[in-house]
Structure 1
Amino acid sequence: MGMIANYQFMTDEQLNALKNFKNNSEELLEEVEEWGEQTEIFLDIDKMWDVLHFVLTGVDSSNPIPNNPLSEAVVGVQALENISEFVAYTEKARIADVLSALEAFDMDQALSHFSMEACKKAELYPDIWDYDDEKDEIIEEIADYFESMKDFYREVLAAKGSVMVTIC
């Protein structure tokens, strides 16, 4: 199946609950899943989160860049610790900066230099970088997810919410 990244709108109440969650990670993941079923603002970028982070920032997502809104767009601002899966959040005060950075980013230019070899060398997830014949499809998928991510952050900003990122 693989690790899939999901992004979802969070209300202030949900954000506070996430920040103050004291139970075990299984209970947290169940709660997060329940929130996902209730939200209308949701984005699934499947397994392309690591390569999207790489295209946006030049580094893989295991090395998030503090105070970099492009990095934060993919992996959030604050990751929760001591849980079995990756869960992070971005508070609503930071959403406009994230959206502005995404809108200013020249994805066409970045993808014109896209290299399957660079992705392989960086050991990006998922391990699909030996399939050169699929490069055009992968580039199209990255571009589509990038546009979807901009749309998602626009909706979250309009709704005045925060964002939760889960990768599991």
Structure 2
Amino acid sequence: MEMLCTLRSATEAQRAALLQAPERLEDFLDDDEDFGDPKGATFVELDIGEAWHGLQYLLTGTPWEGAAPLDFLVRGGEDVGDIPSDEGTARIFTPAQVKALSTALQKVSEDTLRRRYDPARMQAQDIYPGTWEEPEEDVDPLEELVSYFEELQKFVATVAKRGDALLVHIG
């Protein structure tokens, strides 16, 4: 089973609604734009696919740990719950946490990511998807991760500027 990561903005009303009724998480993820917000606020979303664990490693130097807020792909925020249909989980971050994350991401340099990239070590530490030493043909895993990182920086900056919360779903 693939483990894919999607990040989605949520208004404060939507964040509160998700925490009150976690069983409705799937509805929220299924593009129900009116979910928990009487104004029908639109959301922004970023799909980083299988790159989430590689990004976690490049941002923190660890597979499952690291310092907040850069460990946000695998830790932190408030647990919203599990999604039975895809065996996934979701966590949500407050607007203040998103602003701190945006600031932290802007301080990470591409050089830092490139220095931390070590396919053999990533393979040994079982960084998902586990194909670091045997990448697909015509795909440079490092360049793909750097590209996703740049998208992630822009996305989180947009969510922070909107004053929204951030939902991280891996499933």
Fold shared by both chains (TM-score > 0.5)? yes
Q: 1:34 aligns with which of 25, 31, 49?
A: 31
- Cα distance in structure 1, aligned partners of 2:144 and 2:33: 23
- SS of residue in 2 equivalent to 1:45: strand
Shift in Å, 1:81: 4.1
- Cα distance in structure 2, aligned partners of 1:11 and 1:44: 19
TM-score of the aligned structures, taking structure 2 as reference length: 0.82
Q: Which structure's residues are more often helix, by fraction?
A: 1
Shift in Å, 1:78: 2.0
Q: Give per-residue Cα distances to partners, 1:3-24, cap 9 Å, x unaligned.
A: 110001101111011111154x
- Cα distance in structure 1, aligned partners of 2:45 and 2:130: 26
Q: Percent identity?
A: 24
| 8 Å CA contact retained: 1:91, 1:163 | yes
Matched, 1:130 2:133: yes
- The corresponding residue for 1:79 is 79
| 8 Å CA contact retained: 1:10, 1:163 | yes
Q: Give per-residue Cα distances to partners, 1:75-114, cap 9 Å, x unaligned.
A: 3522334554110111101111101111111222331341
Structure 1 residues 34 and 106 mapped into 2: Cα distance closer, same or farther (>3 Å)? same
Structure 1 residues 136 and 18 mapped into 2: Cα distance closer, same or farther (>3 Å)? same
TM-score of the aligned structures, taking structure 1 as reference length: 0.83
Between stretches 111-120 and 42-51, larger displacement belongs to: 111-120
Q: 1:109 aligns with which of 112, 132, 138?
A: 112
Ranges in structure 1 where 5+ consecutive residues have no aligned partner: none
- The corresponding residue for 2:10 is 10
Count of aligned pairs: 161
Between stretches 79-88 and 153-162, larger displacement belongs to: 79-88
Letter in 2 for 1:99: S
- The corresponding residue for 2:69 is 69
| 8 Å CA contact retained: 2:91, 2:168 | yes
- The corresponding residue for 1:93 is 96
Ranges in structure 2 where 5+ consecutive residues have no aligned partner: 35-40
Q: Give per-residue Cα distances to partners, 1:46-91, cap 9 Å, x unaligned.
A: 101001001111111xx344x611112x235223345541101111
- SS of residue in 2 equivalent to 1:7: strand
- Cα distance in structure 2, aligned partners of 1:151 and 1:119: 26
